[in-house]
Copies of this chain bind each other. A is one copy, B any other.
Amino acid sequence: MPKKSKVITVGLIQAKAHKEPAKNLSLTLAKAEKAAKDGAQIICTQELFSTEYFCQSEDHSKFDLAEPIPGPTTKAFQNLAQRYKIVLIVSIFEKRGSGVYHNSAAIINTDGAILGIYRKMHIPDDPLYYEKFYFTPGDLGFRSWKTPFGKIGVLICWDQWYPEAARLTAMQGAEILFYPTAIGWHPSEKAKYGKSQHNSWETIQRSHAIANGCYVATVNRVGHEETTDNGDGIEFWGQSFISDTSGELLRKADLDETTLLCDLDLGKVDTARTHWPFLRDRRIDAYSDITKRLVDE
């Protein structure tokens, strides 16, 4: 039991994307408003919630889906944040300038101001996940932000496979790591590899909670999307979850649309870090090779 409890409520919006961005925006705003009315204080959207997952092909016309920060999407969420005095983490396909686009998240504070931007640092590139075509890797580094409801860090999807990203965010004091995500199965691979792939994904993120004594809140999309003829699409596996500081799941969604609400006692972060004193014993004198690609013979 923590000596000093501080219970807050987070909300994760797991949804199916429609073809029309305006519809995704209005539905997500409505779900965020409902979550706020239900008590959520920090609400996080899924990755690129306003569109289908357009990275299934390399198509220049898709850059038209991007918008600046601030822009119409942040404006809409800023109004909501101010109205309900909540914190919002809003995934945005960011147009920073001609030819420079990012996979970003805007962190909006309770007063409606943009508290910060996180730009996805690790960009994947795999069949049907052609993100390196669209997104310049982030140049703002790993960040955490102080909000009235606790200190939060935001990382995006592919970042979740990197212990370095979680560590660097937690080292800035983050008590919760949020991961807006878009991951799913290639339908043709699902029977053979699907269970193992999903299990790896959940496990690596639970491990970040354990290693850093913090909460992890991951929100993933659902539904089958086929935005190209080049394959059989992606079946997004949903299963958004919230892990406690020991890696146990407090809430887990299935493969339906849902908004996960969960109470977190942030007092437990201090307790976890004291009783499992991993941060005390890090060998910072011996980690410098982490900045190498490999340690060659």
Q: Which residues of A contact B (CB under 8 A)?
A: 121-124, 126, 137, 141-142, 158, 161-165, 167-168, 171-173, 196-197, 199-200, 203-204, 206-207, 210-211, 246-248, 276-279, 281-295, 297
> Is there an interface contact between B290 and A164, defined as CB atoms closer than 8 Å?
yes
A276 surroundings in chain B (CB, below 8 A): 161, 200
A171's partner among B162, B247, B283, B292 (CB-CB below 8 A) is: B292
Distance, CA A287 to CA B121, complexed state (A): 11
Which residue in chain B gives the minimum CB-CB distance to A165? B283
- Residue from the set A171, A199, A203 with the largest chain B CB neighbour count within 10 Å: A203
A55 to chain B, nearest CB (A): 15
> Is there an interface contact between A290 and B204, defined as CB atoms closer than 8 Å?
no
> Is there an interface contact between B162 and A278, defined as CB atoms closer than 8 Å?
yes
Distance, CA A248 to CA B199, complexed state (A): 8
A294's partner among B204, B210, B279 (CB-CB below 8 A) is: B279
A277 surroundings in chain B (CB, below 8 A): 124, 126
> Is there an interface contact between A203 and B247, defined as CB atoms closer than 8 Å?
yes
Which residue in chain B gives the minimum CB-CB distance to A161? B278
A162 surroundings in chain B (CB, below 8 A): 211, 278, 282-283
* Other 12 A-B pairs with CB < 8 A, given A121-B283, A204-B211: A121-B286, A122-B282, A163-B207, A164-B167, A164-B287, A165-B283, A168-B289, A168-B290, A204-B207, A207-B207, A282-B293, A290-B291
A167's partner among B141, B248, B288, B290 (CB-CB below 8 A) is: B290
9 shortest interchain CB distances as A-B pairs: A207-B207, A163-B163, A172-B295, A171-B295, A290-B290, A203-B247, A200-B246, A200-B210, A204-B210
